[in-house]
């Protein structure tokens, strides 16, 4: 029984589920269950209060579907081993008896699996939660109160999760891209909240109505503040920036062909804008496929940099850190502005900055 996927994706399966592992008092839940079918490799963990299931479409299953539990005691070493591998390296997981062997181009690792005890029927549990849409007697039900400490365990699952709340004191369902999970609510006596939905809403209105319906004298509407300080196109999600980049590519291409040709500068600007937007889209697409979490982080950080407006300073510092001589670029541009076109920048202008260059600049 063998399955293959890359090191990054196997590490991410573990990252998204290890926070839900049960304690040592429940040996059968004290680890991560790995299951493979013809399409996906699944990682499953539960502590009875939360349940997390992550999946990834593997590169191929050689043999019959399998299910084995990786014990919690072995997971730290396994996760450290995976971080030492290039993310794109293929990792082949082979199960033989109670042994799990992981083989990569740069090394191998062997683990003993805890499969003596039967794991819970996580599929059946989730099916039951999904089907729960109303109370059997048709009565209105209370909103469940969720423990935020347990909610935080889903932080590694995705940048966004959609949540459905089933009626009664049953579990909340959470879903993301190739991820599904559930969380049980707190008991009413523990939560301190009223027991009925109507009481919950009435209590919330009582606490917040005055604040939410009043405005301080002389303040701007929120929409006005956002319009003034938000940089157009500075999306903070991968989906948003992907849309912006594709739109910009199409717009620049259209403007390029609609130019009358009398302005070489305008033609060059449209061409540069389209090429840059398309290149950024392709790089972001590749990053998102390789590491969705890192892609989301980079997009958010970039949006903050765009909001600051200090792109020139950022670029100068980045060029210097990369070993180039950005001061020579500035000098060349200034000379060209004052005296007309200058000689092309030589190869030495892009050489790493020497100590003397640094002192001069």
* CATH code of the domain covering residue 14: 3.10.150.10
pLDDT at position 245 over 90: no
What's the length of the chain? 361
Based on the domain organization, do 46 and 168 belong to the same domain? no
253 in any annotated domain: yes
59 in any annotated domain: yes
Question: Could you tell me the pTM of the whole model?
Answer: 0.55
Based on the domain organization, do 183 and 305 belong to the same domain? no
pLDDT at 198: 46
Based on the domain organization, do 240 and 339 belong to the same domain? yes
Give 319's DSSP letter.
Answer: H
Question: Minimum mean pLDDT among 10-19, 177-186, 286-295, 325-334: which range?
Answer: 325-334
221 in any annotated domain: no
Total domains, the chain: 3
Q: Which of residues 151, 173, 208 is at a domain's end? A: 208
Based on the domain organization, do 89 and 44 belong to the same domain? yes
pLDDT at 338: 57
Domain that holds residue 61: 2-112
Based on the domain organization, do 311 and 190 belong to the same domain? no
Q: Report yes or no: 4 and 57 within 8 Å, Cβ to Cβ.
A: no
278 in any annotated domain: yes
Based on the domain organization, do 251 and 338 belong to the same domain? yes
216 in any annotated domain: no
214 in any annotated domain: no
Alpha-carbon distances, residue 307 vs 266, 267, 280, 300 (angstroms): 26, 28, 18, 11
- Token pair, residue 233, equals 């196109």
167 in any annotated domain: yes
- pLDDT-derived band at 23 (thresholds 50, 70, 90) equals confident
């Amino acid at each position: 029984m063998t399955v293959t996927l890359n090191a990054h994706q196997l590490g991410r399966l573990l990252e998204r589920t290890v926070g839900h592992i049960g304690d040592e008092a429940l040996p059968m839940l004290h680890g991560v269950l790995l299951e493979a079918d013809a399409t996906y490799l699944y990682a499953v963990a539960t502590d009875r209060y939360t349940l997390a299931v992550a999946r990834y479409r593997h590169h191929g299953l050689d043999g019959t579907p399998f299910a084995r539990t990786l014990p919690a005691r072995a997971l730290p070493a396994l996760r450290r081993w995976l971080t030492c591998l290039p993310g794109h390296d293929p990792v082949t997981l082979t199960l033989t008896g109670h042994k799990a062997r992981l083989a990569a181009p740069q090394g191998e690792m062997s683990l003993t699996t805890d499969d003596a005890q039967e794991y819970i029927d996580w599929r059946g549990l989730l099916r039951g939660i999904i089907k729960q849409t109303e109370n059997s007697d048709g009565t209105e039900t209370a909103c469940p109160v969720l423990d935020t400490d347990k909610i935080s365990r889903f932080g590694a699952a995705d940048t966004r999760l959609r949540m459905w709340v089933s009626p009664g004191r049953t579990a909340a369902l959470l879903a993301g891209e190739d991820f599904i999970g559930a969380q049980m609510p707190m008991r009413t006596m523990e939560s301190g909240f009223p027991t009925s939905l109507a009481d919950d809403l009435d209590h919330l209105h009582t606490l917040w109505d005055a604040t939410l319906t009043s405005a301080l004298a002389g303040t701007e509407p929120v929409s006005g503040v956002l319009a003034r300080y938000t940089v157009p196109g500075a999306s903070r999600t991968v989906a948003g920036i992907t849309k912006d980049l594709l739109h910009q590519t199409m717009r620049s291409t259209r403007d390029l062909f609609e130019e009358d040709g009398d302005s070489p500068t305008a033609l060059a600007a449209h061409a540069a804008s389209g090429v840059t937007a398309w290149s950024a889209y392709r790089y972001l697409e590749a990053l998102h496929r390789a590491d969705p979490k890192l892609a989301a982080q980079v997009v958010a950080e970039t949006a903050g940099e765009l909001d600051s407006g200090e792109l020139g300073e950022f670029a100068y510092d980045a060029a210097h850190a990369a070993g180039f001589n950005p001061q020579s670029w500035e000098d060349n541009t200034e000379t060209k502005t004052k005296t007309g076109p200058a000689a092309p920048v030589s190869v030495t202008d892009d050489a790493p900055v020497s100590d003397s260059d640094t002192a001069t600049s």
